[in-house]
Structure 1
Amino acid sequence: MFAIPTLTNASRRQFSTTKSVNMKVLLTGGSGFIAAHVVDILLEHGHEVITTVRSQEKADKIKSAHPKAGSNLDFRIVEDIAQENAFDKAVQSLPGLEAVIHTASPFHFNVTDTKKDLLDPAIIGTTGILKAIKAHAPSVKHVVITSSFASIVDGSKGTRPGHTYSEKDWNPVTLEEAVQNPSNGYRASKTFAEKAAWEFLEKEKPNFTVATMCPPLVLGPIVHYLNSLDGLNTSNQRVRNLITGQNKKEIPDTGTYIWVDVRDLALAHVKAIEIPEAANKRFFITAGYFTNKEVCEIIRKNFPEYESELPGKEIKGGDYPEGGLYKYDNSRVVEVLGIKFRTLEESIVDLVKSLKSVGA
């Protein structure tokens, strides 16, 4: 097993002198749920942002939503991140690039070929961006990669009462298990991609440091100009299903019982390129526990207009498991990045408001 590199005092001084404001930043997957919020925060912090998107149409939508960004927001088209050398042209075209935030990776279970649809885009996309940076962007000092709690959790252990998950944990999923079903495939894609990043850092010894973000379920407001009710990210679909009457008879199992608001996660990504102490660290980013039943009651309390669509108070399901639940340690993201997490109620209220804006 590889070891995540640690900074020596000399290298820490090197990265500590890197300016933390007004950086030139490449963001991959700019039209994604998380990335759209990363764009907002990067611009708010005064950075120059170049984001990759799969089409000019996506670029135009993002550009029109940020009319004040001017020359601080630009785009590069990368149609398929699973292709070898997919990021080379984009990186080569950006002299003076200082940081890269890599969020582009699939998160869905609607797959026909686990390797082609999940594993390849995640793994090849991650190694591809790292290779491109090393080969063509020697000025880059900070790389942040969106990973997942899926790379931490051991799904075979169930709810694992008594265990405390932290950055020290790795999902032990194998390639053989990965191709058995889409759920295994997704967890494996995040695990293998993150491991590939740390292995690259260990073997290639590039000029840049790496930080990985490992969130569980990501909730919070969507950006209306990129989303519709039919095109939601997987995490927020459960809330859409509640307010559109799809769960009247039974509240679905929660599945993953920890969560984070997308805006707090986006801020963590940006802080990880601004704070030298974030270099070469994994961050397990969670605000705490939640259940689908709690989400339902928050909607009932704050949006009485959806009462007829929600499951009645007597409806069972969606609660915490009877046998207990794992604990979590999110101290690193609080202490190193200084993140103060939003409450579940604030996140769900803002999410439902954003869903209403696209027709819910």
Structure 2
Amino acid sequence: MDPHASKDLVLVTGGNGFVGSHVVVRLLRDGHRVRTTVRSAERAADVRAELEVAGVDPDGRLEIVSARLDTDDGWPDAVAGCTHVLHVASPFPSGTPADDDEVIVPARDGTLRVLRAARDGGVRRAVLTSSFAAIGYSPKPGGVYDETDWTDPADDNTAYIKSKTIAERAAWDFIAAEGGGLELAVVNPGGIFGPVLGPRLSSSTGIVKAMLEGRLPVVPPLHFGLVDVRDVADIHLRAMTHPGAAGERFLAGSGTSISFLQMARILAEHLGERAARVPTRELTADQVRQAARTDPSLRESVSQLGRVPQLNTAKARTMLGWTPRDPVATIIDTAESLYALGLVNTPDPQAP
């Protein structure tokens, strides 16, 4: 008898992404059978390479299939036989779109496509990876955010921030109106850092790489919530299995906000000469506003100037028993993983 035959099958969307790969790793380590989607068959090799870096042997418990968020093709087969779906995949813009709908529509429609397939396939529960962007990008007196808060899509935020809010709202509306027997839980992480498993970096880990390479001589005076990618994987599994998690959102963060300059100082303190090129100065608020007039990528920075958001994660800690790592350890582990994989470009000693 196959020793894995009695294990539930879990679908993870976007298994070659930063969060998705860590979710797959954690599921396999916990003994689950896993099916994961990638946008194209060529990406399957990325998933297996990331598992090798993580030191995980799938042992016949991993299936990799192709399915895209912009088409129905492949999703009925992807969810077939699965008890749970962890919808981690989400489009992230490479630049500033000409029209916000270029980001919002794929995020919303992709989420609904996965949930619809999960419902039709008899899946028990779906866990959606949303974001703090859907909770804390509208001003709030005191700046302490929890799961009862929502970012207003009408506020002057970037297309990505709007997309996370609109996609999550659409998910809850779908479950209420058409969900049938499908349960939904949502995870809302802050900025996600932690060990990288491959060369394709997220925007967050790319910031650490840029700091170490000296490509960020100065940083904006911004604060943000931070969470370790391994803790994000952990909270997904807890939201997947806890009986009381259905119908709930869970904010995931270390609780204490950190600035880019504080992050650079942590790198400098713990990495010594390897962090010799990290930034040591902040722009002023006026300098950020001035630069944003010609650089659309700084639009989000302007809207967050002067804000120090605090993430109240008591719900996840109390209900799910979730405990996040120390953010200092997360930042150092991010950098160490970049160095371990040879992803930090060091200066050529022979260069003039």
Q: 1:46 maps to which residue?
A: 31
Q: 2:151 maps to which residue?
A: 171
Q: 1:287 to 1:318 in 2, by over 3 A?
A: farther
TM-score by length of 2: 0.83
SS in 1 for 2:107: helix
Which residue, out of 101, 106, 112, partners 1:121? Answer: 106
Quote how far apart the aligned CAs of 1:29 are: 0.7
Which residue, out of 153, 160, 168, partners 2:136? Answer: 153
Q: How many residue pairs get matched?
A: 315
SS in 1 for 2:158: helix
Quote how far apart the aligned CAs of 1:332 are: 0.8
The unaligned stretches of length 5 or more in structure 2 are: 1-5, 286-303, 345-352
Deviates more, 1:300-309 or 1:211-220: 300-309
Q: 1:323 to 1:204 in 2, by over 3 A?
A: closer
Cα deviation, 1:5-58, whole Å, max 9, x if unaligned, reads xxxxxxxxxxxxxxxx93210110111111110001000111100000012221
For residue 293 of structure 1, what is the amino acid of its counterpart?
L
Which residue, out of 342, 345, 352, partners 1:358? Answer: 342
Q: 2:77 maps to which residue?
A: 90
Looking at structure 2, the residues matched to 235 and 152 of structure 1 have their Cα atoms a distance apart, in angstroms, of 19
SS in 2 for 1:107: coil
Quote how far apart the aligned CAs of 1:323 are: 5.7
Which residue, out of 232, 245, 248, partners 1:278? Answer: 245
Which residue, out of 15, 28, 32, partners 1:30? Answer: 15
Quote how far apart the aligned CAs of 1:143 are: 0.5
Cα deviation, 1:112-150, whole Å, max 9, x if unaligned, reads 344554112211110001111222x12x11100000111
Looking at structure 2, the residues matched to 167 and 232 of structure 1 have their Cα atoms a distance apart, in angstroms, of 28
Task: Say whether residues 1:233 and 2:233 are aligned partners.
Answer: no
Which residue, out of 183, 187, 203, partners 2:177? Answer: 203
Q: 2:316 maps to which residue?
A: 333
For residue 215 of structure 2, what is the amino acid of its counterpart?
Q
Deviates more, 1:27-36 or 1:239-248: 239-248
SS in 1 for 2:338: helix
Q: 1:335 to 1:86 in 2, by over 3 A?
A: farther
Task: With a CA cutoff of 8 Å and minimum separation of 6, indicate the structure with the bigger relative contact order.
Answer: 1
Write the mapping of 1:171-190 to structure 2, written as runs, cut at 5 A: 171-174=151-154, 184-190=158-164
Q: Is the 8 A contact 1:292 1:318 kept in 2?
A: no
Cα deviation, 1:197-236, whole Å, max 9, x if unaligned, reads 1001110142121001111111111112xx2xxx421112
Task: Say whether residues 1:290 and 2:273 are aligned partners.
Answer: no
SS in 2 for 1:100: strand
Q: Is the 8 A contact 1:101 1:269 kept in 2?
A: yes
Cα deviation, 1:166-215, whole Å, max 9, x if unaligned, reads 111111113xx68xxxx521111111110111001110142121001111
The unaligned stretches of length 5 or more in structure 1 are: 1-20
Seq. identity, %: 30
Q: 2:60 maps to which residue?
A: 71
Q: 1:13 maps to which residue?
A: none
Q: 1:16 maps to which residue?
A: none
Q: 1:282 to 1:87 in 2, by over 3 A?
A: farther
Looking at structure 2, the residues matched to 68 and 88 of structure 1 have their Cα atoms a distance apart, in angstroms, of 26
- How large is the RMSD of aligned CA atoms in angstroms? 2.4
